[in-house]
């Protein structure tokens, strides 16, 4: 991997920090108010996945990518589709949330693991990114395996997952920030 990847990854530390902070805030909210509106949960995931999908879609058109272009495109399209449906039809999506969320989590987890493998020679602690990918995949598989889980249980599990995801993303961001400072 060239210096372009090292520079790009190091400069993007704040993106990981932002995702981490959003994940932690989202997780705390779900754990404190698990019985709150399912529509709010659907909208929040819709907004998060739409934003993530749009950023990923824009990234597909960059010349130098750390992920295979097809995987990033697939991830972007699934994220955008879920986001748009969740925002425009939250009541209908609440019923399908578990299935769509499970698919999204599995694809997101695979993308994170592939990205961690791509940057393993550039960043120490890439295992944190792999761990966040594994957690996303496990949560997706759990949702597929247990479709009768109540929405309250889903809110609690998603809250725990979001907290872990957020903490791991913050840890990755801090490591990337240190790497960026070392390059300066």
Give the integer Cα–Cα distance in Å for 98 and 122.
Answer: 36
| Cβ–Cβ < 8 Å for 175, 123 | yes
Cα torsion 73, 17, 129, 101: sign: negative
Separation between Cα atoms, residue 136 and residue 133, nearest integer Å: 5
Q: Where are the alpha helices (DSSP H) in the chain?
A: 3-11, 13-32, 38-60, 69-88, 90-119, 127-145, 151-183
Q: Residue-wise pLDDT tens for the chain (184 aa)?
A: 456 555 666 667 788 889 899 999 988 988 888 766 567 778 888 898 899 899 889 888 887 777 788 888 998 999 999 899 888 988 778 767 778 778 888 998 998 898 888 877 777 767 888 888 998 899 889 888 876 666 677 778 788 888 998 998 898 888 888 877 776 6
Q: Containing domain of residue 50, as a range?
A: 3-183
What is the model's pTM? Answer: 0.47
Closest CA to 101 of 151, 59, 54: 151
**Cα–Cα distance for residue pair 4/16, rounded to 1 Å:** 18
Q: Is 2 exposed, middle or buried (0-12, 13-18, 19+ CB in 10 A)?
A: exposed
Q: How many separate domains does the chain show?
A: 1
């Amino acid at each position: 991997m060239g210096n372009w990847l090292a520079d790009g990854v190091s400069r993007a530390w704040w993106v990981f920090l932002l995702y981490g902070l959003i994940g932690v805030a989202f997780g705390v909210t779900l754990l404190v108010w698990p019985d709150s509106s399912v529509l709010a949960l659907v909208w929040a995931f819709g907004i998060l996945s739409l934003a993530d999908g749009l950023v990923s879609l824009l990234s597909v058109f960059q010349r130098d990518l750390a992920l295979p272009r097809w995987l990033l495109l697939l991830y972007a399209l699934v994220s955008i589709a879920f986001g748009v449906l969740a925002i425009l039809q939250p009541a209908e999506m609440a019923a399908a949330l578990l299935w769509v969320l499970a698919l999204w989590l599995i694809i997101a987890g695979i993308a994170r693991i592939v990205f961690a493998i791509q940057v393993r020679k550039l960043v120490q602690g890439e295992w944190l990114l792999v761990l966040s990918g594994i957690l996303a995949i496990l949560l997706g598989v759990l949702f597929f395996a247990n479709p009768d889980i109540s929405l309250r249980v889903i809110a609690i599990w998603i809250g725990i997952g979001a907290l872990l995801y957020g903490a791991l993303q913050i840890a990755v961001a801090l490591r990337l920030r240190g790497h960026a400072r070392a390059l300066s």
